[in-house]
Amino acid sequence: MGTGLTFVERQARLTFDEDHYYVDLVFFNRILRCFVLVDLKMGRLRHQDLGQMQMYVNYYDRKVKLPDEGPTIGIVLCKDKKDSVVEKTLPEGEQHIFASKYQTVLPRKEDLVRLLEEEGS
């Protein structure tokens, strides 16, 4: 997932008014000095998934992080996403919550080489 990430917890339980919620993966980024929360979704991204991540990020910012640490980052990984859902759900200019598609099968080597060449030009 990148340089500087330290694993903190899997299935971190948050409890609000006797209701339990679980953050799939919690990391701490030593370089950015902030928590990174990851939620894994098997299907397509729904607006509720982004709202749930916003709740997790708010909780960590208000209850877990130390004053000298950076704002919490939330990442929702899903099998399919529509950019319009992300755009309409998150506040304009949101910089701490991200949604991205994952692939269950890696692209062919030739396709990866072509993509890298396109990015380099």
Q: pLDDT by residue (tens digit) across 26-61?
A: 999 999 899 999 998 887 888 888 888 999 999 999
What Rg, from alpha-carbon coordinates, does the chain have? 16
Tokens matching residue 117:
């060449």
Residue 65, pLDDT > 90, answer yes
- C-alpha distances in angstroms, 80 versus 33, 42, 111, 113? 30, 9, 20, 24
User: Quick one: DSSP state of residue 113?
Assistant: H
Burial tier of 37 (Cβ tally within 10 Å: 0-12, 13-18, 19+):
buried
Q: What percentage of residues in the chain have a pLDDT greater than 90? A: 40
Identify whether the C-beta of residue 36 lies closer than 8 Å to the C-beta of residue 57: no
Question: pTM score, two decimals?
Answer: 0.75
pLDDT of residue 28: 95
Q: What percentage of residues in the chain have a pLDDT greater than 70? A: 74
pLDDT of residue 82: 65
Q: pLDDT-derived band of residue 90, with 50, 70 and 90 as boundaries?
A: low
